[in-house]
Structure 1
């Protein structure tokens, strides 16, 4: 049947340590950049809710994992906290080992495969003070952290991820002020991005040299770039947007080489990139086994302004609002389901049809309390519609040969989201911020039927 998904398809959700765990200042964990930023500038955060407690998974994980089972999950992706496992970067925190081993064990006992990510934007603050991703030393610090995680949890985890959305800390931290260091400097952005990519490569190297079981990949937020028109200048703009925000990590991760256009950009902008001779050979040698793809919205662009002195990127492309766009008014993002199909076909055609899965897809809605019915359930039909429409396009991509093996919604329980905190809710399960109680939304029951049947529900 066209409506069925491949046998063994992964169904579940994604989250991260800093957005879900809480317990940010106990049991040996040290400060991350987010802990520090909230301490020093809490007014930057929408609701003045810091990362200390967030959704309290650290204390509620046993019941949360049971709920995952009740939702039909057969897989779940989260991250380890570098600042919890290696507080000083060198010595292992045994309390962290106990916590993570119990989480991974309970997931497996409940039929939920753990997919474990090493880095989700939560740089330990002591490394940030030394330059963070701009300091080449961070490559080897990260490789040591990766080896520690593989050594302590490799018997429980067979599917590892190095980074979630590595472009985001670069874009948000070096091209605007939404992440630390909150500077606008394209040259610093490129150096930090290069070191991030090398940290990924060295982690893959450690994994494969140590003959760890399982496989290792990376999760990228791939955002298809659509030109305003067939005009060559608009087409050129879409090419540059794709090169800078998709292919800058996608090509080296899968093919082991940077796109020639990215090298041209570096020359155009006279960016001096510091590297060592062996860097590119290692990049070529240590590519990923699989790819995770986060997809929320497309990127629409028009011809750049070559005379722009305000923003380097505006010389190459300028954002364009498509008049026919269907919008999520809460997030200000376009909803374009076909983008997921276009990603599937791009991976099939241009990236050796590498095995991949949808690592995040979901819709954030502000003020979900208005949709709570008399029984206390959020009637989130909009979330069901969002997932259904995206999954239909994904099915088309799979039917046409794209090697997709899973779908994870963002997210399981409403979680904390950086400067926006809990402004927009994404979960299948509602979190009451006052009591920390969890309540399944209507979409949770729908997701159970989807996962257990491995088929899109015909009616709901």
Structure 2
């Protein structure tokens, strides 16, 4: 049950996002194409876009040898021993949604060598994390030598393990001294953010880094609005600041680290997706080198459980793996010249307990990657996939949602042991064999009338399911 205060805040945020979206959509995204090229639409002779009659075996392609397989985490969520920042303050005063004290999280700050070893054992070739501004520059103009030594060694070990660093410059966390000045309300924050970013890009240039400027701008705005909190004017100012800063950062990174790919990953948001895109993505499509998508939850008329996200009970949401197929196709249609990278995808469980329906993390992984293979067969240029996350971590106020390939019981296990879930051998096998097993049938069958592509799916023309499934009926 959502309390009256929570409902009021949610309504205020949604109103703000609507206003923000109106601003963002008025001019139209500069690089969005009207139609996909023939390579994307090839074979789409029926409404399903699969190029075959209903009941025919679906087209599934193997992942290419140069595909980017990764795992994700973020600095604040996993490092522990965290310095003064906006989020340490939110936790201390139990701001909106904070239930658990941060403690030392999963102590990635001191256990990163062994965690990198776990990632290497999966066979991945990308390791995503964030370089935390609050740790690097705890006081304005002072860079902490211990923090720099830690990040230097982290990047070195990632590369030595045969992985490519994907480094996020802003995963919703900024130093306490920035918060004291009013955060993104203060125009100086843009200049200071860019100064720190330029320093980091100079430090790690030429090392094959994939750069992410802002993680999920829509959720950054949302969480700041609830946690600071911000009014509509402040939200609009922050949105403008993120847009300007990303555009400047994109140009700076290409000057300093030529050839390095740059993007800002966008959170997919079902019925609110147009608002999520309007937060930043729509205004920077000419300043990204790939479409970075974070996909967790979809919705259809047989599955409206995504509403549990409002209460924070993420583990009660029923996954919609086939939604990822539609999302990939839709973003590729909008920006046909850019490749697509799934920067985050994963499933929470309730404190590590099995789901009541028996659906496991391995099932989730296989089902989603099956639909990625289907999208690639239909012409979507997918170049990479990251699983969120390598280990369980601090999910912005709570340790209850567990996303990790390796589970860690922060609240009851002082040793913070990393225990493998069933998804560890599943992911290792998928990487080694470049896809799900031949003839794989997803455990979760497609639902009817998907929010991700209502025109096709509500007319009963969803992607052709495997032969084991009956055709969906309206």
State the TM-score, normalized to the length of structure 1: 0.75
Instruction: Please provide the CA RMSD for this pair.
Output: 2.5
State how 1:145-294 maps to structure 2 within 5 Å. Answer: 145-174=196-225, 177=226, 180-183=227-230, 185-225=231-271, 241-255=272-286, 287-294=287-294
**2:4 match:** none
Deviations 1:316-369 (A, max 9, x none): xxxxxx454467875343522222122211222111331221111111010324
**Moved segments of 4+, more than 6 Å:** 326-329
Structure 1 residue 424 displacement after superposition: 1.0
CA distance, structure 2, for counterparts of residue 326 and residue 20 of structure 1: 28
Q: Is the partner of 2:288 in helix, strand or coil?
A: coil
| Alpha-carbon distance in 1 for matches of 2:159, 2:359 | 31
Change (3 A) 1:122 1:398: same
Could you list the runs of 5+ residues in structure 1 that have no partner in the other structure?
A: 25-29, 226-240, 256-286, 301-321, 372-378
| 2:411 counterpart of 1:431 | no
Partner of 1:2, secondary structure, is coil
Deviation per residue, 1:265-321 (Å, 9 max, x gap)? xxxxxxxxxxxxxxxxxxxxxx11122110111368xxxxxxxxxxxxxxxxxxxxx
1:63 Cα deviation from its structure 2 partner: 0.8
How many residue pairs were aligned? Answer: 373
Deviation at 1:3, TM superposition (A): 4.4
Distance 1:380 1:75, change over 3 A: farther
Higher strand share: 1
Match of 2:325 in 1: 341
Matched, 1:392 2:444: no
- Once the two structures are TM-superposed, the CA of residue 7 in structure 1 deviates from its matched residue by 2.5
Distance 2:116 2:291 in 1: 25
Question: What is the TM-score with the length of structure 2 in the denominator?
Answer: 0.73
Instruction: Give yes or no for contact 1:160–1:215 (8 Å, CA) kept in 2.
Output: yes
Determine if the alignment matches structure 1 residue 57 to structure 2 residue 103.
no
| SS of equivalent residue, structure 2 residue 155 | helix
Give the distance between the partners of 2:120 and 2:278, measured in 1 at CA: 36
Structure 1 counterpart of 2:78: 20
> 2:165 aligns to what SS in structure 1?
strand
CA distance in 1, matches of 2:122, 2:257: 34
**Counterpart of 1:133?**
184
Q: How does 1:10-159 map to 2 (within 5 A)?
A: 10-24=68-82, 30-41=83-94, 45-46=98-99, 48-50=100-102, 52-159=103-210
Alpha-carbon offset, residue 99 of structure 1: 0.8
